[in-house]
A and B are shown apart, each in its own frame.
Chain A
Amino acid sequence: MRARAVALATLASVSIVGIGWQLGTQAIDASQSLTASSGGTAIAATVTATTDAAAQAAVTARAAADAAAAAQAAATAATAAAASAAQAAAESGTFTGAVVQTQFGNMQVSVTVANGAIIEVTPLQLTNRGGRSVDISNQAAPILRSEVLAAQSAKVQNISGATYTSEGYLRSLQSALDTAGF
């Protein structure tokens, strides 16, 4: 290879890799930011995200943690949006988070808020990074605590917990339910 070719090839390669690096950095930065898909709104931010319901076997705590971080970022950004659009406070809206990269795939969530409360967190995508197949399984995968907390207001007739004793029963939720039933 001639010196000129070596120089040009080096230059080209450095530029190309540099552009790749830059894009990569932007992708990571982008996951910190958010775009509002409807007008301004107000938020109090305890936020959650979720991995897809059909999430794969190998999603670990880490993926969920990443998703949580993403949603947290979503909430933060949404709060910022609210500050700049204070006149539109108390409106409802749906915020779509940027795509967040996790070890196991790209993840994106949308957060629906109403009157300062988050009423829904919807997973939009969870691509299959690292190749773990998504369709193998009935395997239990991490979910976020707040996801199920949203269902707390649902009406239940029975409580299931680790076995309670007859003494423990009086302090149990089941006891409260049974009493309330009368």
Chain B
Amino acid sequence: MSLDTRTTQIGTAPVNTPRVTSPHPAYKKRMRLADSLQILCVASVAIVVAIFLADGGAAKFGTAADAFTSLGIVAGLIGTDLLLVMLVLAARLPPIDRAFGHDQAMAVHQSLGKPALYLILGHAALLITGYALAENVNVVAETWNMFTTLPDMPLAFLGLGLMIGIVITSLVVVRRKFRYEAWHAVHLLAYLSVLVAIPHQLSVGGLLSEGAIARYYWLALYAMVASSIIVFRFLLPVTRSLRHRLVVDRVDAVAPGVVSITLTGRKLDKLRATSGQFFVWRFWADGLWWQAHPFSLSSAPSERGLRITVRGLGDASQQLPQLKRGTRVSFEGPYGLFTENARTSPRVVLIAAGIGVAPIRSLLETVSFAPGNATVLIRSHSLGDTYLVDELTDLCRVRGVELRIIAGKRPSGVSTWLPADAVRDGISLRTIVPELESSDIYICGPRPWTDAVVRDARSGGIPKKQIHYERFDG
């Protein structure tokens, strides 16, 4: 292990480190919001069950046919409710982003995918079985009956088929075989699959028949989900892009293939972006405009401009170093909870690998801490292949932060974020940063590396709420 500990701390006299254990005020506020959202989400499931029960559903389990039908109805209600929750999670609602961050929201979104699909599949299977039993025909005949005689059923079956396809393409294995854009396009079909399922819910679903209060609740639910998607995924990004008129101001080479891009525009303070957040950028240049990329801010945003530091990653983003001054940029964002808002503790440890240094660099500028209460760890193969290290060194000097660059190859066959010799010597995050318990740990790097750091921190006894990370692929 090559350890480059730069003398960035002001003075060496140990500052009386505050042993503050009370939660950071931002944490309390955030968790109140998170609690409310989670309760709302669970309650929405309870409400659909209540709708079923309010209709006298509890009395409808007398015969096998009734039981199948009733279970099928409940499965459909809960499954659809979860689908709507998934859509809301993916709609980039500001409160959700503030409470959980984009990453965690998407993780929940993904984890709901399979349960929702199973419930919807169960809904179809149970109802077909229930109806078949009631009419004393086989399930194939009943499926055909439903398909041909019930209103809006062909559409509903189409939705079911689409949904199965979406979940399959979303499975990680398959996802890697597709281009991101193709996978994303398939994923957009999710909206279609949810839409085509609506008519049969209203025409076939007795619970939601005309005049029922449940029908209006259901329609209101859809209306809210649809409007949040339209507003926050489409209208808001478009109006923001038009309003702030971002253009490329300068492109500075940082290293081969890595550039810092500075953007200017109007009224950038109104964006309310903060250090550590990311935007989904679209550069309106030849060969680039059709792709959108999530890149984190690499310096604190100001009304004068925004800066990102990016590395070309094998696709069109390789052309980013050739961007011309004045190129129009549209964007979605800012997103993410890799910010001061996630704080819980008085001390800060910032850990980065590769291009993950970008959000760490911006955080370092604005995160609050007393001098001496922050550490920056940069992990690289060799001391030379780090990005923005001069800027980091300067910032650390100014703010009284210890900066350590840990270089060296990882051992093969062992899952660790540290070099081979460090592992051999029993070095861990805790031995590098003794004050870990009273620290918020921000980690940004490639996915497997980040996961290794998180495991190290967790095994050091650090609670989840103090660990914040942002991962990228490749």
Interface residues, chain A, CB within 8 Å of chain B? 1-2, 4-5, 8-10, 12-14, 16-17, 19-21, 23-25, 27-28, 58, 60, 101, 103, 105-106, 127-133, 136
Contact = CB atoms under 8 A, between A and B. Distances in A.
Given A5-B38, A131-B203, A133-B151, 4 more contacts: A13-B46, A23-B53, A58-B134, A130-B69
B206 A23 contact: no
Interface in B8-49: 31, 34-35, 38-39, 42-43, 45-47, 49
B431 interface: no
A19 B51 CA distance: 9
Nearest to A57: B149
A24 B46 contact: no
B131 interface: yes
Given A131-B205, A132-B150, A136-B149, A5 B39 contact: yes
Interface residues of B, number: 37
A27 B206 CA distance: 15
B230 interface: no
A2 B39 CA distance: 11
Interface of B: 31, 34-35, 38-39, 42-43, 45-47, 49-60, 66, 69, 131, 134-135, 146, 149-151, 200, 203-206, 209
B209 A24 contact: no
B198 to A, nearest CB: 15
15 contacts: A1-B38, A5-B38, A9-B42, A13-B42, A17-B46, A20-B50, A20-B53, A21-B58, A24-B57, A24-B58, A25-B56, A105-B206, A129-B209, A131-B151, A132-B149
A73 B131 CA distance: 28
Contacts of A105: 206
Contacts of A8: 35, 39
Contact of A103 (B34, B54, B66): B66
Contact of A2 (B35, B49, B205): B35
A58 B39 CA distance: 41
Contact of B134 (A1, A10, A25, A103): A103
A13 B45 contact: yes
Nearest to B47: A16
Contacts of B56: 24-25, 27-28, 101
A9 B206 contact: no
B54 A5 contact: no
